[in-house]
Structure 1
């Protein structure tokens, strides 16, 4: 894992996921999900977490309600989970290879973020990683109708930076996000090859 993350020579615009891509938020998100789910009698395992990575919180809560046949308000579950995450956002670390690349190409190529997270928390994470000033455009859960693996998030980001989808390189860590990038006809790059992913660790 000592090789450098590179921009594809074909790329004319760069689009970044945030959670698990720019910021190593996944351990914090996982603990928030696990602890909240436990209150509702749900065993939120790491494989389950990996399967919903990239999905908005409310959508994930609805899925959990149906999967485990529970009777709860998804909105309340999501509110508690996001509150837990926000309380621990100070523990989030930047993903150095990605952050270095963002700083290197800031002002050279148009860039945007495309996340399944909520806008307010997304900007907080970017600030924590020290790259908030590098992005003018951010497409969040509130901005689209169809979330990852649907390509709408990334196609919207491409429009904002005025770059043809085929000329956009997407940096992602989640399976749903990589599927979305490929569906959009973009150059998909899995950043998990460039840093150690430790979802289950305590933070």
Structure 2
């Protein structure tokens, strides 16, 4: 299945970003952001949301504070935003093109989730979609300090699945995540807005 993209390469592990890659969560996350930001008279555009995708929520709040000269408490905001997101969990669906690859390689290659979201939110979403059985490990926001575009999360995931970074294939939808995967020394497939898979350089 992956030989279509990489005819000369046999991968030993597959590493997947979660939001916008495995699960179509981005509309629900953006709506949750804007519901939580409303009381501060702020909003987040779709373009800004996508450009920051991959960073932990608390870090984005810090960046918004710098940008707007506000003093939003990151920890409190994370709780409020997550509450809004969980209320719309029924609207989240898996991304079919990626799930086909996950199902095909299940039991053949180790697979990990590598995300800037918090573990609780990822696990609840995976349970809702019934896909937790496919993944050997989760690397979430609590597991590393430097978020994407730093390579730390992908390098940690490679270590957890016992594979050299060059033997891992990453799947990403966001610019920061693709940069992180490449910096980690990994090949990467991008999930486009139309949910097709394309090579990244």
Q: TM-score, normalised by structure 2?
A: 0.90
- TM-superposed deviation, 1:128: 2.8
Cα deviations by residue, 1:87-138 (Å, 9 ceiling, x for unpaired): 1112101100111110110011111110000001111222233321011200
Match of 2:105? 105
Gaps of 5+ in 1: 197-203
* Comparing 20-29 and 106-115, the one that deviates more: 106-115
- TM-superposed deviation, 1:194: 5.3
The DSSP-based 3-state class of the residue aligned with 2:170 is: strand
Q: TM-score, normalised by structure 1?
A: 0.89
Match of 2:91? 91
CA distance in 2, matches of 1:191, 1:171: 7
Gaps of 5+ in 2: 197-201
Q: Is the 8 A contact 1:32 1:84 kept in 2?
A: yes
Q: Is the 8 A contact 2:61 2:72 kept in 1?
A: no
CA distance in 2, matches of 1:42, 1:86: 21
Q: Is the 8 A contact 1:8 1:169 kept in 2?
A: no
- TM-superposed deviation, 1:12: 1.7
Q: Is the 8 A contact 1:18 1:126 kept in 2?
A: no
Q: Which has the higher contact order (CA 8 A, sep 6+)?
A: 1
CA distance in 1, matches of 2:190, 2:24: 14
The DSSP-based 3-state class of the residue aligned with 1:112 is: strand
CA distance in 1, matches of 2:171, 2:70: 35
Match of 1:71? 71
Q: Is the 8 A contact 1:17 1:171 kept in 2?
A: yes
Match of 2:178? 178
The DSSP-based 3-state class of the residue aligned with 2:55 is: coil
* Structure 1 residues 78 and 139: CA distance shift in structure 2, 3 A: same
* Structure 1 residues 5 and 96: CA distance shift in structure 2, 3 A: farther
The DSSP-based 3-state class of the residue aligned with 2:138 is: strand
CA distance in 1, matches of 2:70, 2:98: 39
